[in-house]
Amino acid sequence: MRMGIALRAFWSALTDRQMALRIEALLAGQDLSSERDAIAGPSGTDKASRPSGSAAAVAKEAGANKSAAAKPARDPSVTLLAALQREARLIDLVREDLAKYSDAQVGAAARPCLQQCAGVLDRWFAIEPLVEASEGDSVEVPSDASPIRYQWVGESSAATGKLVHHGWQATKVELPRWTGDDADANVVAPAQVQSS
């Protein structure tokens, strides 16, 4: 259950800037009850119970809330998993009992899988380094830097440090939309059957 929550939080933070900021605030220990109060409005009344200018405005607001709350039939993380399986056979590789193969065999199988996974990530997310510097270079860290963007390794109060890893960022998110049946939304890969 916790793994599912973690994956949903990861995916939400990756695809929704507002959600990423809320998750960051929660991780920093901030109380989000003030945000809930702002949504409820003055004297604890929610937006739906406040008087509005016309019945059309109420209907429009209700329609907007309904469409915003409607979850897609397929979670985008399943779409990503399906592509990694279809194009790179990633799930087959990680679910295989690797103990029965030599290191050379595992390496030979992993190379094309990893190359094809990189292709999927590049096509859908255009992954690029977060910091344009080489490992070992001296980099300046802004004083107001987000802990999501910069992570100190060891204790430091300096404004500069040695780059250990440049980090990664998605410069776009272009996952295809699910158009299949709701009953098949969680199918990552079809069962393949050979005719007899």
Per-residue model confidence (pLDDT) at position 17:
78
Per-residue model confidence (pLDDT) at position 48:
43
Q: Which two tokens stand for residue 130?
A: 């977060």
Per-residue model confidence (pLDDT) at position 159:
86
Per-residue model confidence (pLDDT) at position 15:
74
Q: Is residue 10 domain-resident? A: yes
pLDDT, one tens digit for every residue, the chain (196 residues): 566 576 677 777 777 777 778 887 777 777 766 555 444 444 444 444 444 445 555 556 656 555 555 666 899 999 999 999 999 999 999 999 999 999 999 999 999 999 999 999 999 999 999 999 999 999 999 888 888 999 888 877 678 889 999 999 999 999 998 999 999 999 999 999 999 8
Per-residue model confidence (pLDDT) at position 181:
92
Per-residue model confidence (pLDDT) at position 30:
77
* b/e map 45-55, b = 16+ CB within 10 Å: eeeeeeeeeee
Q: Is residue 56 domain-resident? A: no
Q: Is residue 133 domain-resident? A: no
Q: Which domain holds residue 15?
A: 1-44
Q: Is residue 29 domain-resident? A: yes
Q: How far apart, in whole angstroms, are the C-alpha atoms of residue 104 and residue 14?
A: 35
Q: Is residue 20 domain-resident? A: yes
Per-residue model confidence (pLDDT) at position 64:
58
pTM (predicted TM-score): 0.58
Q: How far apart, in whole angstroms, are the C-alpha atoms of residue 42 and residue 109?
A: 61
Per-residue model confidence (pLDDT) at position 8:
74
Q: Is residue 191 domain-resident? A: no
Q: Is residue 196 domain-resident? A: no
Q: Is residue 1 domain-resident? A: yes
What's the total number of domains in the chain? 1
Task: Return the residue matching tokens 């690797």.
Answer: 98
